[in-house]
A and B are shown apart, each in its own frame.
Chain A
Amino acid sequence: MSALVTARDLAKHFGGGGWPRTGPVVRAIDGVSFDIPRRGALGLVGESGSGKSTTARVLLRLQEPTAGRFRFDGEDVFALRPAALRRLRARMQIIHQNPMAALHPAMSVLDQVRRPLALQGIGTRHSRTEAAIELMSQVGLSPEQGRRMPHQFSGGQRQRVEIARALITRPDFLVLDEPTSALDVSVQAQILRLLTGLRAEFGLTFLFVSHDLGVIRHMCDQVAVMYLGRIVEIAPKDSFFATPRHPYAQALLSVVPVPDPAQRTRPRSRLTGEPPSPRNPPSGCAFHPRCPMAQDICRREAPVLRPLAPGHSAACHLAEARP
């Protein structure tokens, strides 16, 4: 099976230019690589500042990458000129975190849903409206709601509008940037269920960015864990949740609160300290100051991703030493 999405050595660095210099170069992401097969779903998980959102944005060229390659269905996206890129956007779309902010505040919902079709020059004005109304009902909005403005909707409904807008051009690839973290649990369940259905129906490929391992486990078939701008572990979902290899991933998984009081007594690896700032990254392995197992080599050398099981890689010097 060939991958629809192939990302290689993505990097995004900020700052460093100008006079007087505005500060050190901040490596928001560095050397990020992954593949997503057609109809696959990769979950990108990490804490704040890990670079997961930057990865999503760089991929869609919403921020220009500093380095790296991204092949989408064989096309070299980072090399595309503006016009070609705009055409390709019909095939890859993004859902944002905050549904309050992701819709144009002064454009009716129907206008926003059908706008991508007009931009791509698809259909007539009438057929575009038809298509928008049909898709809106598919995501659970009634046609008469189309005339309303975004502020007249609740957060969950706005997220439905955003989904309809993203899917109107029938894209293959959907980037979801924390699509439910601004929503309540019950609304999150509605949206996740909707997305699962649409993924099957439209044959979508997902890059699902989230800090919530529960959501990732529910929605994805592959997991990548990021820490300070790098992927530290990437694996098929089952393999990852059964045997996480990287000490950070293990800790993360053990401290996620589980809604089951019976599990209170489970063993946990508590981390000290907080995620470091990308302005001032630690030497060697970025995780070593918080790692319970850190050795001398971890302070000196940055580990690279190594395969440890089929499809399962981790960037840790000591990963093999553990069961």
Chain B
Amino acid sequence: MDPVLEIDGLCLEFRSDRGPVKVLDGITLSVSRGETLGLVGESGCGKSVTGLSVMRLLPSPPARVTAGDIRLGGESLLSLPEAGMRGLRGKRIAMIFQDPMVSLNPVTTIGAQLAETLAIHGADGRLRSRVEAALAAVGIGDAAQAARAYPHQFSGGMRQRAMIAMMLACRPEVLIADEPTTALDVTVQAQVLDLIRDLQAEIGMAVVLVTHNLGVVAESCDRVAVMYAGCVVETGPVAAIFAAPQHPYTRALLAAIPRADADSATLSVIEGRVPDLVDPPQGCRFHPRCPRASDRCRTEKPPRRDLGAGRYVVCHHPEADA
């Protein structure tokens, strides 16, 4: 299957008072049509920044890409002029955000915000019916009335639906969903994830689901990329990685979750804390917290190992070696 979106060795820095912060270090990812890739990790690991840099929505300065490329359908996004990129946003590649309370304009109706997306990407004259169709497609009951409503008149779940309607109105090839359910209650979260899945099946788009919740990944992604301190440490099919994580970080992370479906004995604890990315550790960025770390991990960047069946791990001593 040909990937729609490819990120190839992306390195990115933020300018700061204390020197450049190396936020992303050689991110390599791809996602295909109809596929959902989970981008998972703890705060500060760079998962949201990765999503935003695909959209080229990071302000520059302070952000600066120092190496690598991002390609949509084989075409490099980083070399596009801003006007060309603007033509792609919302049309071929779309993004939804964490907090639907603040990501809609409070003084404009839902319908107007939706119509604007359609208009800018060259929809024909029947805007009103297309707006209503888009709202109906995300399960908003009275679409005509909803189009006239303002965001604050909607509940959190409804707002996220409206946001999805707005972003998917042009049937994009790629959707980047940045923690789309984190601000929602768990029963509403399930509805929104179902909705994204249904629309994905209908449109055939690729979805990059950025989340900190491994449960959400297990339930709604085909493949997963686990990030730590600006690096992807492990990628592969969800079933395989959850069954047998190869990177010590993935393994520890999975064992740290208290589960609702079974009694968990003791939770695994990762000692230490996330490194300072102004001065990241030499070698493997995880080595100061890794129980398996060797001298090699302290000096040498681990290679990206191909484990077959679409699995990759970035580690000198993966579990498979044990």
The minimal Cβ–Cβ distance linking B245 to chain A, given in whole angstroms, is 11
Q: How far is the CA of A126 from the CA of B254 in the complex (A)?
A: 44
Stretch at the interface among A130-138, A143-151, A253-261: A253-261
Q: CB-CB contacts of B232-274 with A at 8 A, as 1s and 0s?
A: 0000001100110000000011101111110110111110010
Decide if B264 touches A218 in the complex (CB within 8 Å): yes
Chain A, Cβ-Cβ closest to B157: A274
Decide if B269 touches A217 in the complex (CB within 8 Å): no
Q: CB-CB contacts of A214-256 with B at 8 A, as 1s and 0s?
A: 1111110000000000000000000001000000000111011
Given contacts A48-B185, A252-B186, contact A184 B43 (CB under 8 A): yes
Task: Select one of B156, B260, B263 contacting A253, CB under 8 A.
Answer: B260
Q: How far is the CA of A47 from the CA of B191 in the complex (A)?
A: 15
Decide if A252 touches B218 in the complex (CB within 8 Å): no
Stretch at the interface among B7-15, B91-99, B163-171, B209-217: B209-217
* Interface status of B219 (Cβ within 8 A of chain A): yes
Q: How far is the CA of A216 from the CA of B259 in the complex (A)?
A: 9
* Interface status of A211 (Cβ within 8 A of chain B): yes
Residues of A within 8 A of B123 (CB): none
Given contacts A217-B263, A259-B214, A261-B242, contact A274 B269 (CB under 8 A): no
Residues of B within 8 A of A271 (CB): 187, 190-191
Task: Select one of A185, A253, A262 contacting B257, CB under 8 A.
Answer: A185
User: Taking each of A186, A187, A268, which has the highest tally of chain B beta carbons within 10 Å of its own beta carbon?
Assistant: A186
Q: How far is the CA of A20 from the CA of B43 in the complex (A)?
A: 46
Decide if A211 touches B264 in the complex (CB within 8 Å): no
Decide if B242 touches A214 in the complex (CB within 8 Å): no
Residues of B within 8 A of A264 (CB): 218-219
Decide if A260 touches B194 in the complex (CB within 8 Å): no
Q: How far is the CA of A43 from the CA of B212 in the complex (A)?
A: 24
Q: How far is the CA of A185 from the CA of B239 in the complex (A)?
A: 20
Q: CB-CB contacts of A179-202 with B at 8 A, as 1s and 0s?
A: 000001111111011000000000
Decide if A274 touches B187 in the complex (CB within 8 Å): yes
* Interface status of A152 (Cβ within 8 A of chain B): no
Given contacts A186-B42, A186-B270, A261-B218, contact A255 B189 (CB under 8 A): yes
Q: How far is the CA of A186 from the CA of B215 in the complex (A)?
A: 14
Residues of A within 8 A of B155 (CB): 274
Q: How far is the CA of A83 from the CA of B261 in the complex (A)?
A: 46
Task: Select one of A48, A189, A257 contacting B219, CB under 8 A.
Answer: A257
Residues of A within 8 A of B238 (CB): 261
Task: Select one of A156, A185, A189, A216 contacting B214, CB under 8 A.
Answer: A185
Q: How far is the CA of A48 from the CA of B256 in the complex (A)?
A: 25
Q: How far is the CA of A193 from the CA of B107 in the complex (A)?
A: 46
Task: Select one of A47, A154, A219, A241 contacting B187, CB under 8 A.
Answer: A47
Q: How far is the CA of A274 from the CA of B156 in the complex (A)?
A: 9
* Interface status of A272 (Cβ within 8 A of chain B): yes
Decide if B257 touches A214 in the complex (CB within 8 Å): yes
Decide if B215 touches A256 in the complex (CB within 8 Å): yes
Chain A, Cβ-Cβ closest to B43: A184
The minimal Cβ–Cβ distance linking B177 to chain A, given in whole angstroms, is 15
* Interface status of A2 (Cβ within 8 A of chain B): no
* Interface status of A124 (Cβ within 8 A of chain B): no
Residues of A within 8 A of B293 (CB): none
Decide if B269 touches A47 in the complex (CB within 8 Å): no
Chain B, Cβ-Cβ closest to A154: B273
Query: Given known contacts A212-B260, A258-B260, what 7 new A-B pairs fall within 8 Å (CB)?
Result: A189-B270, A217-B263, A218-B264, A256-B261, A257-B218, A259-B242, A274-B188
Chain A residues at the B interface, C-beta cutoff of 8 Å: 47-48, 154, 156, 184-190, 192-193, 211-219, 241, 251-253, 255-264, 268, 270-272, 274-275
Q: List 23 A-B contacts (CB under 8 A).
A: A47-B186, A185-B42, A185-B212, A186-B253, A186-B256, A186-B269, A189-B267, A190-B269, A193-B266, A215-B258, A217-B259, A218-B263, A251-B187, A258-B259, A258-B261, A259-B259, A260-B218, A261-B243, A262-B243, A263-B261, A271-B190, A274-B185, A275-B187
